[in-house]
Amino acid sequence: MSKIKIGVLRGGPSSEYDVSLATGGNVLKALREKLADKYVTCDVLIDKKGQWHIDGITVEPKNAVKQFDVAFLALHGAYGEDGKVQQLLESLGTPFTGSDSLGSAVGMNKALTKDSFKNNNIKTPIGRVVKSALITRDAEKVAHELFKKFSMPVVVKPVSAGSSVGVSIAHDIEELVRGLKEAAKHDSQVLVEEYIKGIEATVGVIEGFRGEKLYALPSVEIVPKIEFFDFAAKYEGKSEEIVPARFTKDVKDQLSDLARKVHKAVGLRHYSRSDFIVHPKRGIYVLEVNTLPGLTNESLVPKSLRAVGSDTHELVDHLIQLALGRV
């Protein structure tokens, strides 16, 4: 039987370029070291301008996909997670891992995901979306209007960006102005939402894994060494991730159920990872969902997999089989 050729797409024109390279590197390692009996690999680097390269040679996407059977999406952020590359692959008839173009577009847009949460009775912090053009024109005016509507502190984040890029917590009007300006650099819209103090948690779900229709990985408790789980906390060791989390069984079950509910509500495919805040009195709030969770050495899904006796290579194999429609 001939081996299936997997094109691992990594890099991309987003602020998460380096994270994507690391995720892609781990996927390639898993394929080459643990799954070489089933698959051969094609390392597809997408540069920061969006150009595709194979073996250092620039290749048009429609020609690149002819060199592999399945695209493994190791991309994060704009282009890779917002539905653009998914739409391209769909138009070319190329199977790929992760959510389809529509689910990806909704999952990447924090405003649209909040709408999905509300429509499905999933508790999420109160928020308001502001156009970045208004912030660029007069950040102080926007900040004062928001200051009247929200109790401080608030969380300020770009509507479509991952890995907590451009996210800040504002405790007063000056910090709110700075946070708005920073978030506006990363997207055309900014989301401002109430800050809920509690324990951060995340739960990954995988379709068709270990005989379950939607398998929930163990919940991860996140203890940032700084105020919140930002980019530095995620990738520079400035947080402690405890898996399995130290919650009660009831809270763990609620988190698992909510992660499954979010996956379905947003219309996602194959796998996802949802982020939560567990408040001691107000309950559990969902913050956002990741349609292509990171698979770097510091990422949370691999840590959850190891907690149940699995590892990245088992997930990689499973996702490829999902993309081929064999699960």
CATH number of domain containing 181: 3.30.1490.20
Phi-psi region of 52 (alpha: psi -120 to 50; beta: other; left: phi over 0): beta
Q: What is the pLDDT of residue 166?
A: 86
In a domain, residue 286? The reply is: yes
Same domain assignment for residues 213 and 181: no
Ramachandran category for residue 20: left, alpha or beta (phi over 0 → left; psi -120 to 50 → alpha)? alpha
Q: Are residues 54 and 202 in the same domain?
A: no
- Indicate if 60 and 21 belong to the same structural domain: yes
| 287 and 157, same domain (yes or no) | no
| Whole-number pLDDT of residue 236 | 53
Nearest to 129 by CA among 173, 87, 187: 187
Say whether both 111 and 260 belong to one domain: yes
- Mean pLDDT split into 10-residue runs, the chain, 327 residues: 94 93 98 98 97 95 97 95 97 98 96 96 96 97 95 94 80 96 94 95 98 98 71 57 96 98 98 97 96 93 97 98 95
Same domain, 211 and 285: yes
Report how many domains make up the chain.
Answer: 3
Per the structure block, which two tokens stand in for 8?
């691992």
310 occurs within a structural domain = no
In a domain, 315, yes or no: no
List the CATH number of the domain containing 39: 3.40.50.20
HEC-encoded secondary structure of the chain: CCCEEEEEEEECCCCCHHHHHHHHHHHHHHHHHCCCCCEEEEEEEECCCCCEEECCEEECHHHHHHHCCEEEECCCCCCCCCCHHHHHHHHHCCCECCCCHHHHHHHHCHHHHHHHHHHCCCCCCCEEEEEHHHHHHHHHHHHHHHHHHCCCCEEEEECCCCCCCCCEEECCHHHHHHHHHHHHCCCCEEEEEECCCCEEEEEEEEECHHHCCEEECCCEEEEECCCCCCHHHHHCCCEEEECCCCCCHHHHHHHHHHHHHHHHHHCCCCEEEEEEEEECCCEEEEEEEECCCCCCCCCHHHHHHHHCCCCHHHHHHHHHHHHCCCC
Residue 40 lies in a domain: yes
> Could you give phi then psi for residue 247, rounded to 5 degrees?
-80, 165
In a domain, 275, yes or no: yes
Report if residue 308 sits inside a domain.
Answer: no
Cβ atoms of 71 and 54 within 8 Å: the answer is no
Residue 326 domain-assigned (yes or no): no
Domain check: are 91 and 189 in the same one?
Answer: no
Backbone angles phi, psi at 322, to 5 degrees: -60, -45
Domain co-membership, 257 together with 151: no
Task: Look up the CATH number of the domain holding residue 273.
Answer: 3.30.470.20
Residues 146 and 171 placed together within one structural domain of the fold: yes
Q: Report the alpha-carbon distance of residue 305 to residue 310 in Å, rounded.
A: 5
Q: What is the pTM of this model?
A: 0.92
Same domain flag for 175 and 250: no
Closest CA to 202 of 158, 169, 166, 233: 233
Domain identity same for 134 and 283: no
Q: Is residue 273 part of a domain?
A: yes
- pLDDT for position 72: 98
Domain region containing 37: 4-97
Both 112 and 238 in one domain: the answer is yes
Task: Dump pLDDT digits (tens) for 233-252.
Answer: 444 556 889 999 999 999 99
CA distance between the termini of the chain: 19
Q: Which of 194, 227, 244 is the last residue of a domain?
A: 194
Of 140, 167, 194, the residue at which a domain comes to its end is: 194
Q: Which two tokens stand for residue 155?
A: 């969380």
Strands 214-216 and 220-224: unpaired
